[in-house]
Structure 1
Amino acid sequence: MGEIFDINAVFSAIPRLLEVLPVSLQITAISMVVGLVFALLFAVIRMKKVPVLSQLVTLFISFIRGTPIIVQLYLTYNGIPLLLKFINQQYGTDYNINAVPAMLFVLVTFAFNEAAYNSETIRAALQSVNKGQIEAAESLGMTYLQVLKRVIVPQALVVAIPPLGNALIGLLKGTSLAFVAGVIEMTAQGKIISGSNFRFFEVYLALALIYWVLTIIIEQILRFLEKRFSIPDPVQQTMNRGWFSWGRRGI
């Protein structure tokens, strides 16, 4: 009878899983960056209440937040080929539907999913900025884009970092669904390895450990960023300066 648990299988699986780690990181990074760009755009559209666009964005966000991401992945995986087929029929083009890379389906799905969720976070962060500062900047002749860049975004960033960090961690773990579209990332690699050696528990334990370590690394980076971009409390600064001055006089 073989061993019930083989610790060597755990350590032997880790290098093979790490071979496809760049794929998981690529999905995470690209989806997050693209998602944040669209999230900021959606947040501004809703804040400015742009006619038609505001209603469409609200409907889109409601749909994304109200459906599972795996369903969205299936819709993208089957919807993009249908869209290309429709374009070919209507405009006489010759797009090769079979040539569409599987990674595209994954990136589109995750990017727009992040955009929908993070737009609410960014909108709340933007609205947390003191309106008096915005009015003061506008009174100096700044355009809205200048106010957004120089006044609103820097302050909103401090508020948005923690929830956006949680979203990033969730996105990293969510990349495990990419195998649905045929992308071989770490979870798909784990299925392949465990299917060959039948050490399912050991392989998935190795996979869990890798995700755990990656999450810890991201958490440490986020803590650094929070400290880096945090706005000092002026009252505390005044008290500290007063205490320092008093201490020097007492020496």
Structure 2
Amino acid sequence: MAEFSLAFAIEKFPEVLKGVPSMLIVAVISMLLGTIIGLIIALCRIYKVPVLDRLGALYVSFIRGTPLLVQLYVVFYGTPLLADTLNREWGWHLPLQEMSPLAIALLAFTINSAAYQSEVIRGALLTTDSGQMEAAYSIGMTTSQGLIRIVAPQAFAVALPNLGNIFINLIKGTSLAFAIKVIEVMAQAKIVAGDGYRYLEMYFDASIIYWVICWICERLFVWLETRYSRHEKRMAA
């Protein structure tokens, strides 16, 4: 068995780093889009919007109950098939067959992220005192104004730690995107490892990259929590 070559790992580390931009693109964009979709789902479930309430619950249950890798394959193979069916049967002209692997990954990770974020946001909104919305109504605010100005800031403080965990899990989850031909950190490590059949060294490099980026994100969310809590205390004072 070949020995671990630290020199090879150090030499090829910059090559593995080339996969970081794709990883961050998938994680950041899917997190942002997932927040918007998750908020909509959470509000539909809280206010019991007919039909959408049930559909939202079913969607969340399905996504949370199936592996991310399976979801990636379903979106990767199912999106072109769905587009072809809609184009043929309904006369639509959806260019989904030409979607790049990166776009497919963004779609799949957004769908996954939205389900988990909807539960975090719903839980955070439900923890706020219902009397605050009644107070908002009493001074002439609409429901949307009360949510944005009073409830949302408090709910955000509650949701922030869990949102941070979701984002870190998204970063680690991008390691599965190589399965649908996205060249991110894990795929880049496999490509470089193929040159000298030094897979352990490249997986070691990839693990260091994931660890450092997740640590930075963890520190960032801790800083945000501290800063936001101080802001809330000043507002309350």
Shift of 1:94: 5.5
SS at match of 1:142: coil
How big is each residue's C-alpha offset from its partner over 1:13-34, in whole Å with a ceiling of 9 and x where there is no partner?
Answer: 2211111211100000000000
Q: Which residue of 2 aligns with 1:116?
A: 115
| Backbone CA RMSD of aligned residues | 1.9
What letter is aligned with 1:214? I
Give runs of aligned pairs for residues 1-251 of structure 1, distance below 5 A: 4-93=3-92, 98-230=97-229, 231-232=232-233
Whole-angstrom distance in 2 between the partners of 1:92 and 1:127: 43
Q: What are the ranges of 5 or more consecutive residues in structure 1 without an aligned counterpart? A: 238-251
SS at match of 1:34: helix
Q: Output the TM-score relative to the length of structure 2.
A: 0.94
Shift of 1:140: 1.2
Cα gap change, 1:94 to 1:129, in 2 (>3 Å): closer
How big is each residue's C-alpha offset from its partner over 1:17-53, in whole Å with a ceiling of 9 and x where there is no partner?
Answer: 1112111000000000000101111000000000111
What letter is aligned with 1:147? G
Shift of 1:102: 1.2
Whole-angstrom distance in 1 between the partners of 2:194 and 2:92: 42
Shift of 1:148: 1.2
Shift of 1:112: 1.1
Work out whether residues 39 and 118 of structure 2, in 8 Å CA contact, stay in contact via their aligned partners in 1. Answer: yes
Shift of 1:91: 3.2
Paired residues in the alignment total 235
Whole-angstrom distance in 1 between the partners of 2:69 and 2:194: 23
Cα gap change, 1:93 to 1:37, in 2 (>3 Å): closer
Shift of 1:223: 0.9
Whole-angstrom distance in 2 between the partners of 1:178 and 1:214: 17
Q: Which residue of 2 aligns with 1:249?
A: none
What letter is aligned with 2:140? G
How big is each residue's C-alpha offset from its partner over 1:70-112, in whole Å with a ceiling of 9 and x where there is no partner?
Answer: 1111110111111111122113456556422111211111101
Whole-angstrom distance in 2 between the partners of 1:140 and 1:95: 47
Whole-angstrom distance in 1 between the partners of 2:15 and 2:208: 14
Which of these two proteins has the greater Rg computed from alpha carbons?
1
Shift of 1:160: 0.5
Q: Percent identity, aligned pairs only?
A: 42
Whole-angstrom distance in 1 between the partners of 2:143 and 2:23: 37
Whole-angstrom distance in 1 between the partners of 2:149 and 2:18: 42
SS at match of 2:233: coil
What letter is aligned with 1:117? Y
SS at match of 2:223: helix
How big is each residue's C-alpha offset from its partner over 1:196-251, in whole Å with a ceiling of 9 and x where there is no partner?
Answer: 111111111111011111011011101110111114399xx8xxxxxxxxxxxxxx
Whole-angstrom distance in 1 between the partners of 2:92 and 2:225: 50
